[in-house]
């Protein structure tokens, strides 16, 4: 995948594109496949760095990841999950922050996890203390080691009542991925409820997880010893959709219908931004070739 984008402007946007799966859901759904005892299928997968990193980490841990050359769908088979060498894992140090979410699933699958020093997008300091605190409340033992963090649970992960000081998306994901196979009942108050969290819950429920969400918002999970696989199409990326809408607002008109966006000309009396139940339409209210 190229790391350079070359953009040549000066013409109105035309044609048709597909909004791919949400960046903030797909890598987490891939991690969730580790919880199952049979293969999972994930559709609408974007070509992004986090997908590459998680694919490599899963493969290091014995998970078979097959990509359909035509559709890009991923089939993830965790039945031969194993411990990976720290040296191999270290190669991903600084690549992404997603590996911290492998902790719970790896503990359930092989009894331990080693997480390399984390990287990620440069949007400011985002400590992983909330993740580690959630894991400790499940009974995990967290040890700082050269190059990363070793996490184990000699007695297995146990259900707990957990309260977040603020609705952290990452900590909520950590809770979901750890609680589904933890022994007993687990409750999380102050949970995040972004669309990607809701879709991750849908993935876990397809695997057989027993999850309920209250309006507080509190998430309650009854842990199960075993989960199956899933077949899931990731929800579309709302940030990508917003980017196309913004582009249309500046220069042209775009109609988003089902999970695609195509150029469209709206009536002259249309409002600058219009939406309907069956499709989402964005129009700049100006002629595509008109100057800004």
Rg (CA), the chain: 21
242 and 204 part of one domain: no
Domain boundary pick from 233, 254, 270: 233
244 and 288 part of one domain: yes
157 and 52 part of one domain: yes
**Is residue 224 scored above 80 in pLDDT?**
yes
244 and 227 part of one domain: no
261 and 210 part of one domain: no
Active site residues: 121
CATH of the domain at 156: 3.65.10.10
142 and 202 part of one domain: yes
The answer, as to whether pTM is greater than 0.75, is: yes
Q: From CA 149, how far away is CA 26, in angstroms rounded?
A: 24
Q: From CA 59, how far away is CA 53, in angstroms rounded?
A: 10
pLDDT tens digits along 162-210: 999 889 999 999 999 999 999 999 999 999 999 999 999 999 999 999 9
Each as own residue / partner, the long-range contacts of residues 45-49 (CB below 8 Å, 24 or more positions apart, any chain) are 45/20, 45/21, 45/72, 45/73, 45/74, 45/234, 46/20, 46/21, 46/237, 47/1, 47/20, 47/72, 48/23, 49/1, 49/95, 49/96
CB 217 within 8 A of CB 207: no
pLDDT tens digits along 77-105: 999 998 887 777 766 666 667 888 999 99
Q: How many folded domains does the chain comprise?
A: 2
pLDDT tens digits along 119-164: 444 333 446 788 899 999 999 999 988 778 899 999 999 999 999 9
Domain that holds residue 36: 26-233
């Amino acid at each position: 995948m190229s790391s350079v984008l070359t953009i040549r402007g000066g013409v109105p946007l035309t044609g048709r594109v597909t909004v791919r799966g949400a960046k903030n859901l797909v890598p987490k759904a891939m991690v969730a496949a580790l919880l199952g005892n049979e293969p999972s299928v994930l559709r609408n997968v974007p070509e992004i760095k986090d997908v590459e990193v998680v694919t490599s980490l899963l493969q290091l841990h014995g998970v078979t990841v097959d990509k359909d050359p035509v559709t890009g769908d991923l089939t993830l088979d965790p039945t031969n999950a194993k411990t990976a060498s720290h040296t191999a894992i270290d190669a991903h140090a600084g690549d992404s922050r997603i590996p911290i979410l492998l902790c719970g699933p790896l503990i359930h699958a092989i009894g331990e996890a080693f997480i390399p020093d984390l990287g990620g997008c440069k949007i400011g300091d985002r400590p992983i203390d909330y993740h580690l605190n959630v894991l400790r409340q499940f009974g995990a033992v967290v040890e700082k080691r050269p190059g990363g963090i070793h996490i184990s649970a000699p007695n297995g992960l146990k259900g707990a009542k957990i309260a977040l000081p603020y609705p952290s998306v990452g900590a909520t994901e950590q809770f979901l991925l750890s609680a589904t196979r933890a022994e007993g009942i687990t409750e999380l108050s102050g949970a995040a409820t972004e669309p990607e969290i809701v879709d991750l819950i849908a993935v876990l429920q397809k695997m057989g997880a027993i999850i309920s969400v209250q309006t507080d918002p509190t998430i309650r999970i009854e842990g199960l010893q075993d989960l199956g696989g899933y077949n899931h199409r990731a929800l579309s990326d709302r940030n990508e959709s917003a980017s196309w809408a913004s582009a249309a607002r500046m220069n042209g008109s775009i109609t988003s219908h089902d999970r695609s966006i195509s150029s469209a000309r709206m009536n002259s009396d249309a409002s600058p931004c219009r939406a309907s139940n069956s499709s989402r339409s964005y129009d700049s209210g100006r002629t595509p070739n008109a100057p800004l």
